[in-house]
Structure 1
Amino acid sequence: MAERSHVLYASEPALDVAEFRRVLIESGLGETRPIDDEARLKTMLSGASLVLTARLDIEGKPLIGVIRAITDFSWVCYISELAVSGSAQGLGIGKGLLNEARRQLGPSVAISLLSVPDAVGFYERIGMKRMPDAFWFNRKR
């Protein structure tokens, strides 16, 4: 599907929560995100300082990927989600989204993220450095 269509990458701060939810589910991240809590998903989107999307350049411009991130646009950017619909995985969409993030942020901004176990190989293949020290206070709900 995506291999025959041009992919449009863009900043989309007002992303529709239903589209965001759909891509989270289709990507496999639905198991680790509050997909049944629309208010929380809305807050997640509105609290992000950077929302990037990947859409197919066909009628309806379907969403196939999204990055949601927190950044100061000066020193560091933390990517909270990098989600690509299952049907578009393996086609370079995730790498394209990260390249767009790097383009928009510029070379002086570092990018960090926490990977789900199934995606570790992807991040290593695209040249991200694995960092041994990460710390976490778990959420209560």
Structure 2
Amino acid sequence: MEITYKTDFTPSVDDIVEVYDNSGLVRPTTDKERIGKMFKNSDLVVTAWDGDTLVGIARSVTDFCYCCYLSDLAVKKDYQKAGIGKQLVYKTKETIGEQTMLLLLAAPSAMEYYPKIGMDSVDNGFIIKREK
């Protein structure tokens, strides 16, 4: 398996939905219009490919100079534990540059994963949750 990574291409909504649904990441995948808007309004999308098959995705909102919010990190189940998620995070960080902080909110099931790839936990965050 040779995985390639792209930062210059946004996959189709159908491919994105397939990765989300297969990975276990909960997103509003029955609302394809909303998924499309999520990606249209994102500043950085890093994708992982096995040939022509999308196997992983990282979606971020950033200013490329101070802060970046990595809002989605998803890898298809058959490709998990192969370092693809870690590479998606590293490619995101590489693209945003050393002056830019990278922040994410982890799903409860992924709380142990992020420290393993070198990320620090933070306790000084606050949230206003979405209503829908």
- Tell me how large the CA RMSD over aligned residues is: 1.0
* Corresponding position: 1:35 with 2:26: no
- How far does the alpha carbon of each residue in 1:19-73 deviate from its partner, in whole angstroms, 9 at most, with x for none? 11111111101xx3111001100000100000110001x3xx1011000100000
* Partner residue, 2:67: 76
**Structure 1 stretches of at least 4 aligned residues deviating more than 4 Å after TM superposition:** none
For residues 8 and 72 of structure 2, what CA distance do their matches in structure 1 show?
14
Q: Percent identity?
A: 33
* Partner residue, 2:42: 48
How far is the alpha carbon of 1:13 from its aligned partner? 4.3
For residues 8 and 54 of structure 2, what CA distance do their matches in structure 1 show?
11
User: Mind listing any 5+ residue stretches in structure 2 that lack a counterpart?
Assistant: none
* Partner residue, 1:136: 127
* Partner residue, 1:20: 16
* Partner residue, 1:67: 58
Between the two proteins, the alignment pairs up a number of residues equal to: 132
User: Mind listing any 5+ residue stretches in structure 1 that lack a counterpart?
Assistant: none
Aligned positions of 1:50-129 closer than 5 A: 50-56=44-50, 58=51, 61-129=52-120
Bigger helix share: 1
The letter of the residue matching 1:47 is: N
